[in-house]
Structure 1
């Protein structure tokens, strides 16, 4: 450094006083994200974990424990629906949701229906319970089960079971044919109509 530069520097620094202490104290408060930041983080994490389960956990019309669950898509023949209601079809699979939380029940029901449809199982029995003592409302699981079944495209119809299959605590479910069953059915009908 040139002497003139050093003199200028010392002149400029003449009124500067040294610090009283030379230790840096760490900040005592940690960075804490706001509630909005936490909500955005959670939403981003959930978006990354894609959930194919589209069953809604939103508002549900509450049923009473002894209300009948009944749903039928347009196009389902009355005779088919009557046989389902009367429990005349062989039950090929059963799902017991008793004692499950709504979150668990939603997952189990969705996975069960998808698996049964893929395997070509058509008639199911779902045990949802009556929920007489469920909190915060009676029949909450039964109510959501009825709502969810009507949201699943593969479900053609459902109805409260006969007493010997669980009565108001269970329901029958009829699934549509899977793609392989539809192909087989078309082939069978085309052979029938050939000369």
Structure 2
């Protein structure tokens, strides 16, 4: 429905009321569109959710005398022997030196996720010896992840006591 045009009396009243005013200068301020998170940010958020889901800091698996060696139920113990002998060469390596627990947890979750996507079977995780925090915690985290089939201390050429070789089930 069209509005009727303003008559002369109404226009005169409006101009009288507006006398002495000037236009606002705010019309040059633009509004930014909300930005979507970048793919990297989304991947980091996903890794953080997965890390908090899979890796509990309070859970301590029972490794027995073979700490930090572990084989998931249903996986042949022969896989552990192959890891110990160095029959598997790591296809991906993650160096956790200089990271705190939270950073290491996120990177570990991202590594396993990447290994599954790329169908990588053997990983090497360098945790170092240092103060021992990551050396104790990394095997406990790995033992909790459903994609980790087995892990064993790495042979000397891959880091020895400061590293783990990990077998990942990428066709789960």
TM range (shorter): 0.5 to 0.7
> Take 2:155 and 2:129, find their aligned partners in 1: how far apart are those partners?
14
State the match for 2:58 in structure 1: 58
Which residue, out of 165, 168, 172, partners 1:172?
Answer: 165
**Normalising to structure 1: TM-score of the pair?**
0.57
Distance 1:126 1:93 in 2: 9
CA-atom RMSD, angstroms? 2.1
Separation in 2, partners of 1:160, 1:85: 7
TM-score norm. by structure 2 comes to 0.64
Alignment of 1:1-195 (within 5 A): 51-53=49-51, 54=53, 55-58=55-58, 60=60, 68-131=67-130, 134=131, 139-178=132-171
Distance 2:77 2:140 in 1: 21
- In the TM superposition, residue 58 of structure 1 has moved relative to its aligned partner by 2.6
Asked whether the 8 Å contact 2:122–2:168 carries over to 1, the reply is: yes
Offset, 1:118: 1.7
**Cα distance in 1 between the residues matched to 2:90 and 2:129:** 20
Instruction: Confirm or deny: 8 A CA contact 1:60 1:143 kept in the other structure.
Output: no
Partners of 1:71 and 1:150 within 8 A in 2: yes
The number of equivalent residue pairs is: 120
Unmatched segments (≥5 aa) in structure 1: 1-49, 180-195
SS at match of 1:145: helix
Q: Which aligned runs of 4 or more in structure 1 are off by greater than 6 angstroms?
A: none
